[in-house]
Amino acid sequence: MQEQLKTGLMSVILPAYNEEGSVPRAAQVITGILSQAGISHELIFVNDGSRDQTWDRIQEQSAQYPQVRGVKFSRNFGKEAAIFAGLAQARGDCAAVLDCDLQHPPEKLVDMYRLWQHGYQVVEGVKISRGRENPLHTFAAKTFYSAISGATGIDMSRASDFKLLDRKAVDTLIAMREKHAFFRALSSWIGFSTAQVEFAVQPRLEGESKWSLRSLIKYALTNITSFSAAPLQLVTLMGVVVFICSVALGVFCLWQWATGQALEGFTTVILLQLIIGSILMICLGIIGYYVAKIYEEIKDRPRYIVAEECGGRRDDGQAEKTV
């Protein structure tokens, strides 16, 4: 018996931050590939507070292609916010997310769509190579991924933001109320029937990567703490370790006192003060980080603010479907 294949509109979400050079190429390449494969589609560019001509380029593309739309943030809110804004805007039966610099090969969108047609609800792009990067970046990324994989219990080492999600998965994600959503991990966490498509990260043709070492560290800390409470348990663990050491030292000191040789060991006292002091500071810092997170979540501010939208004329029949 022939399997019933799903068909439907695919929304392609492209976060863009200072990508004036990449936007026209992305629109042209992606619409070309998807039209040729006979997949009805819409493109949603999310301008994440770019300081260059990105928004003008997006407006030009939306004037040229009826299936291209644009959303402009009032300032830079970060890639995660841009992805969620795109998901909220998507009218498709499935939605794909890929980098606007085309480091995620757009040909793979067709493979992802075919898997979706066969009933998979989450299709993950899995990196087989990280592309050309400087060694420091590779090291930072490796450290980050082993930390987050350990903290979340999800293997993130080859994960990327290149994904295709069924409407159900999209709706589940946008219904989540947490402000610091970590798309890459959350889209695995929600479950659903999942397939994987391997891809090699392409070299960046235009502009440069937006990640500085500082922003990577911030990204790592934000995402680990928003996805996992493991660092808080680390505080307890450190407490236990210090307690065991202090019991041992306590016994030793008492023994010294009992045998009348108690004056020695002033260096030990100084060292102990320093070590315990710094461990306490670190622990307070970790707890403080989570308190700050609670504070931010409880303020219930929006994840992003949309300043302007463009494109999405409904009279063309292409992007007809509403959610």
Interface residues toward ligand UDP, by CB under 6 A: 15-17, 19, 48, 76, 78-79, 82, 99-101, 103, 209-211
Decide: is 160 part of the binding site for Mg ion (CB under 5 A): no
- 52 vs 316, beta carbon nearer ligand UDP: 52
Residue 103: left if φ>0, alpha if ψ -120 to 50, beta else—which one?
Answer: alpha
Beta-bridge mates of residue 46 = 15, 71
Q: Which does 17 bind (CB under 5 to 8 A by kind): Mg ion, ligand UDP, none?
A: ligand UDP
- Closest contact distance (angstroms) between CB of 52 and Mg ion is 16
Which two structure tokens, joined as six digits, stand for 26?
Answer: 């992305």
Residue 138's binding partner among ligand UDP, Mg ion, none (Cβ under 5 to 8 angstroms by kind) is none
Tell which phi-psi region holds residue 158, choosing left (phi > 0), alpha (psi between -120 and 50) or beta.
Answer: alpha
**18, 103, 152, 187: which one contacts Mg ion (CB under 5 A)?**
103
Q: Determine if 40 is a binding residue for Mg ion (CB under 5 A).
A: no
93 or 101, CB closer to ligand UDP? 101
Q: Which is nearer to Mg ion, 101 or 111 (CB)?
A: 101
Q: Which is nearer to ligand UDP, 109 or 115 (CB)?
A: 109
What does the alpha-carbon distance between residue 127 and residue 197 come to, in Å, rounded to a whole number?
9
Q: Which phi and psi angles does 308 have, rounded to 5°?
A: -155, 155
Shortest Å, Cβ 178 to ligand UDP: 19
Nearer to ligand UDP, 13 or 283 (CB): 13
User: Among the candidate windows 22-30, 99-107, 232-240, 303-311, which touches Mg ion by CB under 5 A?
Assistant: 99-107
Q: Which does 19 bind (CB under 5 to 8 A by kind): Mg ion, ligand UDP, none?
A: ligand UDP
Selection from ligand UDP, Mg ion, none that 15 binds (CB < 5 to 8 A by kind) is: ligand UDP
Q: Is 161 in the site for Mg ion (CB under 5 A)?
A: no
Which of these segments, 100-108, 147-155, 228-236, 306-314, binds Mg ion (CB under 5 A)? 100-108
**Of 15, 6, 8, which is closest to residue 163 (Cα–Cα)?**
15
Task: Give the gyration radius of the chain's Cα atoms.
Answer: 25
Asked whether position 42 contacts Mg ion by CB under 5 A, the answer is no
101 binds Mg ion (CB under 5 A): yes
151 touches 231 (CB < 8 A): yes
Shortest distance in whole angstroms from residue 73 CB to ligand UDP: 9
Contact 13, 95 (CB under 8 A): yes
Give 70 or 231: the residue with its C-beta nearer to ligand UDP.
70
**Rounded Cα gap, residues 224 and 213, in angstroms:** 16
Binding site for Mg ion (CB under 5 A): 99, 101, 103
